[in-house]
Structure 1
Amino acid sequence: MPDQSAPVLKKVLTPVHLWAIGVGLVISGEYFGWNYGWGVAGTVGLLIATLFIIILYITFIFSFTELTTAIPNAGGPFSYALQAFGPFGALMAGYATLIEFLFATPAIALALGSYVHFLYPAVPVVWCSAGSFVVFTAINLLGIKEAAWFSLIITLIAIAELLVFIGVVYPYTRFDTFMHNPMPFGWSGVFAALPFAIWLFVCLEGIAMVAEEVKEGKNAIAKGYISAVLTLAFLALTVMISVGGVTNWENLDHLDYPMPEAIAIVLGRQNPLTKFFTSVGLFGLIASFHGIIISYSRQIFALARAGYLPYGLSTVSPKRQVPYRALLAGAIFGTLALISLDTSKLVILSTIGAVVVYIVSMLSLFRLRQTQPDLPRSFKAPFYPVFPAIALGMAIVTMVAMGYFYTKLSGLFFAGFGAIAGLFYASVRYRKHRQGQDTNVV
């Protein structure tokens, strides 16, 4: 019998909401972050890395959707790994997902602050970034339906702005400019650029975190995922090529606001349209920032409900039915992270977490096919086992590359997991010991 007292979430989301949440989660990656890849790979090197990652994501999402529809739980990868590998696998998946989402939000917050600072130099970046957490956490506290509608509207505006941006800069895009110093570090640069290519899609699997709140059945999840990944692949390539053809990449590879700078190069920094595009560009960052807050709060909620985090974090507000304590905890962590780390480090840590999630998820898919062949699957991974095997293999290659090029950050990630695992198992042993003492007393 299900536990009637367990916290539950409200079912109100449709496929359109899921598409908006999926695209919204990721679309800020088109606005900033990916351009750091030019600094380690050049334009063509990053383009090759991006094509590699697009193949990874297409095969991954088509495979991952099977898990999300079969196990529609707010825990997402944590829930799949729990069924496949038990508590240790679940702990790894839950930790990696939290790292991915909790470090992505402060990176986006810093970009938000940088965009506002570009428009109004008197506004400090850090204070604006911290204020973003306050505003959008408050919006999420209103309820999931309200948050999802907000995400839909903001995402549509962000997509429209990207298309207008491409239309403005495309006439100024030159092939010879894009091919300037295209692969300064050779093929090693391609592998070094993989985290920044992943940034163009990172957190897309966050749709899984709202699976419990979908009202139109499991096929709605598949529709949301697939339409979102195709939309993002198109936008990623067109934006990268358009911006790279406007000016030499060395002028943009270190900025948190490459698109406003590209518009300023094309139209002039004092042109009113430059500030207009920058203002509208904020919507892309807001869409992702808002969407990831939805996702990380549901992940914290699911982990707390399952006993991997303090149970109090699974508390749901009685009227709005949102995990308000999880929302507040994520906002506090994100604010501390943006004060402590720069944007590129936040991006790399987030993508390390993402790749570990992809590896554990694909291993879970293979495991559940073997151990639970009768599990209801309204959507099955096409071309099984080829698609999940491609996604798994490419994710492992990416993880090895990131471990090689970003050794300290990778070490920090796994050291953090070791510490969390130690604390978790110590608490489990303590609870068992206490239960044994209570039994002896009785």
Structure 2
Amino acid sequence: MSQPGERAPAASLGLLDATMVGIGAMIGAGIFVLTGLATELAGPAAIVAFALNGGVTTFTALSYAELAAAIPRNGGGYAYVREVFSAPVAFVMGWTRWFTYMIAGALYALGFSSNFVEFVHLYGVTLPGPPVAYALLAVVVLVALNALSTEASGGAETAITLVKIAILGLFVVLGLPVARGAEFDPLFPNGALAVLPAMGLTFIAFQGYDLIATVTEEVENPTVNIPRAILLSVVVTVVVYLFVVFVAIGTLGPERLAAAGETAVAQAAEGFMPSLPVLGTGAAIIAFGAVFSTISALNAVVIGSSRVAFAMGRERQLPAVLGRLHHRYGTPFVGVLASAAVMLVAVLVVPIGTVGKLASLFSLLGFTIVNVAVFRLRRQQPDLRRPFQVPFYPVTPALGIVCNLLLGLFIDAETWALAVGWLVLGGVVYLLLARSGRTDEGRPEPTAAAEATVADPEPIDLDADVDEETA
């Protein structure tokens, strides 16, 4: 919560902007590069893997929606865990979510650079310098945008995401008339159990709706719009994925799609998409879509990671400077820069493949804790106003817990060992802050019942100091 004399975030994002943050983060390069790889594992049943992952992620999305409506504060899962668990548990949640978003940013930046280089190469242009240079440039540009204006970064996210949805929509509209249902017979050529590893591979493509909750205080009427944005982003993403996978398999066939690997969707597009002015062939159009997908996903995690740092700094679980807004721009300026620094280092030196799996593991564990938080908050504060409630409680969050833990079992032992190492490092940071007296130890726990039941605040003037606590 804001401390006396500190500024509060301004509500400058609408429902569309908030929804696009989630869609932009979820529809990244995953649907372009994972469709062929999933088909290699499960055959035509890859579409079943995508559908089941959509169901699994919906359980947790509903939990996020309830918690966001009841606890309208920036920080997402960290803010909710901070409300119902002890300070050390909340720190672990925030520490891992911050890490996950920052590493995802490195992954998206590298994905953008490779897709961008490939896209311009289709037109006979060879860019100077190594591809990593363009990854670094993308991070720097988006960090500058986010540091200077939340409204501008949110508007950019909306525009970029609408473009890539339009490109995938074109792929679906042109491909559906020529897709062959016979390509799905038999549906399980590799056995029904082959769907499970395909689910583990593609689950990362369903992460991102949680980023919406990290900007809660910057969204107009958050108790209504945040749950709507979370659920809308999941529904739109799942529908888009299922149509894209159906068209890809139905037009290229499962064997050829599997052989195409990471370029499967582009190769499928070559078979039925006409050449367009400026953009060119179907493969070029899909490459163009992949460029937009990765850049929007990168922008979304820059937004989300900085807000987790801001929330933890405001709660004194990281240095307090991270929890302050810039006096002129009204953005979590230091939080944006700190998150960007880690992204830039990760782009240069981190083994991205391994850390990508680590980010997936931390997401699964974080989603598990968020579902547990729904149970604890209902028990601890039964009279708390909940504008949105999880349907079929307690079955829905229980299924979220079980499914996330089961998917975590498909993560290899090396990744689990690295996760423990990062947690140990976090423990050291927490103890050092505690010894210096800079943590929130000894401060009263935040009270959601007192904060979340007040009316949503009026839009905040960025040029005025706000001395009151945020809703």
Same-fold status (TM-score > 0.5): yes
Give 1:127's aligned amino acid. Answer: A
Q: Is 1:313–2:318 an aligned residue pair?
A: no
Q: 165, 169, 175: which is aligned to 2:171?
A: 165
Aligned to 1:333: 342
Match of 1:131 in 2: 137
Which shifted more, 346-355 or 68-77?
Answer: 346-355
Q: In the TM superposition, what is the alpha-carbon distance from 1:52 to its structure 2 partner?
A: 2.4
Equivalent-residue separation in structure 2 for 1:172 and 1:42 (angstroms): 23
- Please say if residues 33 and 196 of structure 1, whose CA atoms lie closer than 8 Å, have aligned partners that are also in contact: no
**What displacement does 1:149 show?**
1.5
**In structure 2, distance between residues paired with 1:183 and 1:421:** 47
| 1:252 and 2:252 matched | no
Q: 1:202 is matched with which residue: 192, 200, 207?
A: 207
Q: 1:151 to 1:415 in 2, by over 3 A?
A: same
Instruction: Indicate how the Cα distance of structure 1 residues 108 and 379 shifts in structure 2: closer, same or farther if over 3 A, else same.
Output: same
Looking at structure 2, the residues matched to 414 and 266 of structure 1 have their Cα atoms a distance apart, in angstroms, of 48
| 1:366 to 1:335, Cα distance in 2 relative to 1, 3 A | same
**What is aligned with 1:372?**
381
Following TM superposition, by how much is the alpha carbon of 1:161 offset from its aligned partner in structure 2, in angstroms?
Answer: 0.8
8 Å contact from structure 2 (residues 143, 337) kept in 1: yes
Q: Deviations over 1:156-215 (max 9, x none)?
A: 11111110022334455445656699655x566433333432222112111100101122
Query: How far apart, in 1, do the equivalents of 2:390 and 2:413 lie?
Result: 34
Task: Give, as a single letter, the amino acid of the residue that structure 2 aligns with 1:251.
Answer: A
**1:148-297 equivalent positions in 2, closer than 5 A:** 148-171=154-177, 173-175=179-181, 184=190, 186=191, 189-245=194-250, 246=252, 248-253=256-261, 255=262, 258-264=264-270, 272-274=280-282, 275-297=284-306
Does structure 2 conserve the Cα–Cα contact (< 8 Å) formed by 1:27 and 1:232?
yes
415, 418, 425: which one aligns with 1:412: 418
Kindly tell me: are residues 214 and 53 of structure 1, through their superposed partners in 2, closer, same or farther at Cα, counting changes over 3 Å? same
- 1:383-402 correspondence runs (5 A): 383-402=392-411
- Cα contact 2:322–2:332 (8 A) shared by 1: yes
SS of 1:120's equivalent in the other structure is helix
Unaligned runs of 5+ in 2: 442-471
C-alpha change, 1:216 and 1:399, in structure 2 (3 Å) is: same
Match of 1:143 in 2: 149
2:172 partner letter: I
Cα distance in 1 for residues equivalent to 2:286 and 2:40: 28
Tell whether the 8 Å contact from 2:115 to 2:291 is kept in structure 1 after alignment: yes
Paired position in structure 1 for 2:86: 86
Aligned to 2:410, what secondary structure does the other structure show? helix
The answer for the alignment partner of 2:21 in structure 1 is 21
Partner in structure 2 of residue 352 of structure 1: 361
Tell whether 2:311 aligns with 1:302.
Answer: yes
C-alpha separation in 2, matches of 1:229 and 1:432 = 38
Q: Which residue of structure 2 aligns with residue 62 of structure 1?
A: 62
Deviation of the 1:315 alpha carbon: 3.4
Q: What is the aligned partner in structure 2 of residue 439 from structure 1? A: none
Identity across matched positions, percent: 21
Q: TM-score, normalised by structure 1?
A: 0.88
SS of the aligned residue for 2:330 comes to coil
Structure 1 residue 311 displacement after superposition = 2.3
Q: Distance in 2 between matches of 1:334 and 1:125?
A: 16
The CA distance in 1 between the partners of 2:23 and 2:305, in whole Å, is: 16
Q: Distance in 1 between matches of 2:134 and 2:322?
A: 27
The alignment of Structure 1 onto Structure 2 pairs a total of residues equal to 428
Does the CA contact (< 8 Å) of 2:368 and 2:405 recur in 1? yes
Native 8 Å contact 1:195 1:348 kept in 2: no
Quick one: structure 1 residues 416 and 343, their matched pair in 2 at CA, closer, same or farther if it must change by over 3 Å?
closer
CA 1:337–1:169 in 2, change beyond 3 Å: closer, same or farther? farther
Range with greater deviation from structure 2 (298-307 or 155-164): 298-307
Q: Is contact 1:106–1:338 with CA below 8 Å preserved after alignment? A: yes
| Structure 2 counterpart of 1:359, one-letter code | T
Amino acid paired to 2:91: L
Distance 1:2 1:18 in 2: 22
CA apart distance, 1:370: 0.7
Quickly say closer, same or farther: Cα 1:243–1:370, change in 2 above 3 A.
Answer: same
Equivalence for 2:451? none
Q: Is the 8 A contact 2:142 2:299 kept in 1?
A: yes
- Partner of residue 105, structure 1: 105
**Which amino acid letter does the alignment assign opposite residue 166 of structure 1?**
V
Q: Show structure 1 runs of 5+ residues with no match.
A: 436-442
The root-mean-square deviation of aligned C-alpha atoms, in Å, is: 2.8
Determine the C-alpha separation between the residues in 1 that align with 2:177 and 2:215: 41
Q: SS at 1:34's partner residue?
A: helix
Comparing 79-88 with 203-212, greater Cα deviation is found at: 79-88
String of CA shifts for 1:347-402, please: whole Å, max 9, x gaps: 32222121111111011110111111122211111111111111111111112232
Instruction: Identify the residue that residue 119 of structure 2 maps to in structure 1.
Output: 119
Is contact 1:23–1:231 with CA below 8 Å preserved after alignment? yes
1:419–1:45 CA distance, 2 compared to 1 (3 A): farther
Q: After superposition, give the CA deviation of every residue in 1:197-243 in whole Å (9 maximum; x if it has no partner).
A: 22221121111001011222411112111111110110111112222
The structure-2 alpha-carbon separation of the partners of 1:30 and 1:96, relative to structure 1 and needing over 3 Å to count, comes to same
**Which segment is superposed worse, 119-128 or 65-74?**
119-128
Contact 2:106 2:347 in 1 (8 A): yes
